[in-house]
Amino acid sequence: MLPSFMLLLSSTAVAAESQFEGFAAPTEERDRESKFDISFGGMWSSGNIDSLTLSTSYEGHRRWDDHQMSSKGGVTFGSAVPDTDGDGRLSEEEKSAGRVETASRQEAWLRYDRHLGSRDSFYSLAGGYADIYAGYDSRINAQVGYSYRFLDAPKEEGPALTGELGFDAAREEAVESVDTIEMIYSARALVRFALDLEEGVALGQEVESLMNVQTPEDTRLNTETSLTAKLSESLALKFSYKLNYDTQPVEGFSKTDQTGLVTVVTSLY
């Protein structure tokens, strides 16, 4: 993958796992709460380069008493006019041939948390994604585990630190050129850190590890670094960088996937 940030926007969609961290248990003052956000981002260019990348996602949760339902998902699409002769420029003939698809990813996750106290919960999760440019016609997985918030940020002030331990079962169906179907059983660990740098500006860091319990050398590492700046009560600008490393990817595909994105986040409620 090219290191250039702008080129990353039009690269293969990230083969991210369910890096879906639960929320803290409700306090007496916040025993019922709903939140739903939608994000939009993309890049378009024409002339010497002709490419288009669009990304949209959602994330929301509903909390009541000691229970919480959460969901997140998204779609990424990319297309470009390829330099088929490799001379470093787009000829009129190449432009007239039209665009080809360069990225296609769809994902969705649903999670339930049963809170035990003010800081911890048991969780279960199901979902998956399709990303042919990462080698998967589909990757569907389910998880169970335990989540604990080591540091809490009252009223979103100060740092927050959460850890999770769990078990993940995934059914991987590779693209037609590879034509394999596998069941992967993994031990899962996640650490998530968040910090308000100043009013309306927040830094986030998340690291997830998935280690195949049958073949420990088959391990995935997924990370996301984000910086969110609040523009208004309902709008924010988010910069994010995702890195996904798989020691044993689908045959013929890269071990490392990277994506940089700039998105506008709107809170519906």
Residues 162-185: pLDDT tens digits?
999 999 999 999 999 999 999 999
In angstroms, the CA 219 to CA 210 distance is 6
- Residue closest to 10 by CA, chosen among 131, 104, 128: 104
What's the chain's average pLDDT?
86
Residue for token pair 């639960």: 22
SS3 label, residue 247: coil
Is residue 49 very low, low, confident or very high in pLDDT (cuts 50, 70, 90)? confident
Looking at the DSSP assignment, which residues form a beta bridge with residue 204?
A: 194, 226
- Residue closest to 132 by CA, chosen among 184, 81, 174, 182: 174
Does the pLDDT of residue 7 top 80, yes or no? no
Residues 90-131: pLDDT tens digits?
888 888 888 899 999 999 999 999 999 989 999 999 999 999
Does the pLDDT of residue 26 top 60, yes or no? no
Domains and CATH numbers, the chain: 5-267 (2.40.160.40)
Residues 136-160: pLDDT tens digits?
999 999 999 999 999 886 655 668 9
Residue 209 exposed, middle or buried by CB count within 10 Å (0-12, 13-18, 19+): middle
